[in-house]
Chains A and B, each alone.
Chain A
Amino acid sequence: MSKILEELLYSESHEWVKVDGNIAIIGVSDFAQEEMGDITYVDVPSEGDSVAKGEDFGALESVKASSELYAPVSGEVVAVNEELEDKPELINEDPYGAWIIKVNMSDASELDSLLSAAAYAEVAK
């Protein structure tokens, strides 16, 4: 059984969101990294790019697959985890510590449509 943190919100496409004021910190769930296998590359947007809820903002590559990353909320990318460029395996080692991007949300009400930990547990089976 993969780990799901109580205090986070989740999308059905397996991204997690940690809310810090108007900033959404985004990563992928433990379930996602387990499904992907050893991650070899993280394709991320640049700071200043805008992302739209439901649209892809990057991709994860693992030894066995490539998978799009979908934005759980809309807004402007204010930070990118540059450590992942050289150490993509951090996502495998600590999926909830290895955030991918931080987004300044343009519509915080979009958070309402995300899943709670309990609801996500039903998806990540």
Chain B
Amino acid sequence: MGNFAYFPHTEDDIRVMLDRIGVRSLDDLYSDVPADFIYNKEYDLPDALSEQEVRNFFEELGKKNVQLKVFAGQGAYDHYVPAVIPYITSRSEFLTAYTPYQCEISQGTLRYIFEWQSMICRLTGMDVANASMYDGPSAAAEALRMAVSCTRKRNKVVVSTKLMQNVLDVVKSYLKYPDVEVVYAWDVLEELGPDVAGVIVPSICRHGIIQDLSGVADAVHAAGALLIEYCDPSALAVLKTPAEWGADIAVGDGQSLGIPLCYGGPYVGFLACKSEYMRKLPGRIVGQASDKDGKRCFVLTLQAREQHIRREKATSNICSNQSLMALWVTVYLSLMGPEGLRKVNELSFAGAHYLYDELLKTGCFEEAFPGRPFLKEFCLKPLVPVDVLQQKLLDAGFFGALELDGYVTFCVTERRSKAEIDALVAVIKEIAL
């Protein structure tokens, strides 16, 4: 064995342990594995590196990263991250997100999960939220399974193709094996029928248009199904809530609440519902209780839904959650408050609408959906080759003009200054010339 300073066992330690259990070598521990399955050749691996060499390697690799100004969205948004968040979330009290079964020693963790649930309920208008999900798309898939278990003898779900592509892709793979029939439709109401358990629609569609869901809940409920709304929780500070639209379940991705963009994750999903469906809600739920002295305290509750008690009858096999990221969002929301979150939306809205108008003036685009309301993300019809457009932007340090359904999309958050927007427009004007 080489000189691996951080391996906890010395060769003498290993010898003593092997002697104690009566085995000659470490390889003998694998004697049950059939010889055919054992790889006997030399591993083709590079030589080990010293600590300094590893550092050099990654520093060189890191230099290849380019910091782009983000003008793209599609489910992940470049909102501002207050600098204090990582300091609070990396306090040692929060370092394990492991399920706090033992409430006597876990009041801190349980408390912030309870706060997260409460904040998600405030944003969505729902009665109950769970302790979090992996991300928005998997929360959407779990919500569809939940609709099936809430409505007996119905196993069909209708998924709006107005949802973002990442949501559609995950729903498709997540629901491939459970006994659920998935129907995809642009107009979900056309697919309603006696076997439909649930319908999922976005509050803002993949093209950035704020949806008017008038009458949708009534139609879905009249057909005996549940309405699930997929929403951007940041936008809920200014838009009608899922509860106001009459939805039964609200899901979405918490990334827009101050989680930085980082190659797709880690993010955090949320799943909230009306109280009548809480026993079908998957995942952990923290509840408020009183200790023996009558003081407010927090415990995991309604655990009979979960697989460690209910086994194969559990509402879901989700037993984990994204607690550290839920903590991150909880800290973000505490810092922003309703006023701050409103301001984030107002600035994003103003920037996006300014960019929209300026881009149309370049002559490189036509309106895709004239007169339709949008918040921070929109589509335009490109009149110039999209690959040229994208390359020009990349060369100038911008990330935007994602291609989608024959359009290009742009997104502006409160992080983008007017100067940055003007600089992006100037780059595009060069193409028009």
Contacts and interface: CB of A to CB of B under 8 A. Distances in A.
Interface of A: 41, 43, 45-46, 49, 56, 59, 61, 65-66, 68
B151 to A, nearest CB: 10
A65 B310 CA distance: 8
B304 A49 contact: no
Contact of A49 (B152, B279, B309, B313): B152
Given A46-B152, A49-B152, A61-B304, A41 B309 contact: no
B310 A66 contact: yes
Interface of B: 152-153, 279, 304, 309-310, 313
B316 to A, nearest CB: 15
Given A66-B309, A66-B310, A41 B152 contact: no
B122 to A, nearest CB: 26
A120 to B, nearest CB: 25
Contact of B152 (A45, A59, A61, A65): A45
A43 B279 contact: yes
Kindly list the 6 A-B residue pairs having the minimum CB-CB distance in the complex, ordered from nearest. A66-B304, A61-B304, A66-B310, A66-B309, A46-B152, A49-B152
Contacts of B309: 65-66
Contacts of B310: 66
Contacts of A46: 152
A45 B153 CA distance: 11
A46 B152 CA distance: 9
B94 to A, nearest CB: 29
Most buried by B among A46, A61, A68: A61
Contact of B279 (A41, A56, A68): A41
Contacts of B304: 41, 59, 61, 65-66
A50 B87 CA distance: 57
Contact of B313 (A41, A45, A65, A68): A68
A66 B304 CA distance: 6
Contacts of A61: 304
A62 B299 CA distance: 16
B32 to A, nearest CB: 37
Nearest to B310: A66
Nearest to A43: B279
A67 to B, nearest CB: 9
A99 B310 CA distance: 23
Contacts of B152: 45-46, 49
Contacts of A56: 313
A46 B153 CA distance: 11
A41 B305 CA distance: 11
Nearest to A50: B153
B96 to A, nearest CB: 26
Contacts of A66: 304, 309-310, 313
A56 B312 CA distance: 13
A49 B153 CA distance: 9
A104 B152 CA distance: 19
A33 to B, nearest CB: 16
A111 to B, nearest CB: 26
17 contacts: A41-B279, A41-B304, A43-B279, A45-B152, A46-B152, A49-B152, A49-B153, A59-B304, A59-B313, A61-B304, A65-B304, A65-B309, A66-B304, A66-B309, A66-B310, A66-B313, A68-B313
Given A43-B279, A45-B152, A59-B304, 4 more contacts: A56-B313, A66-B310, A66-B313, A68-B313
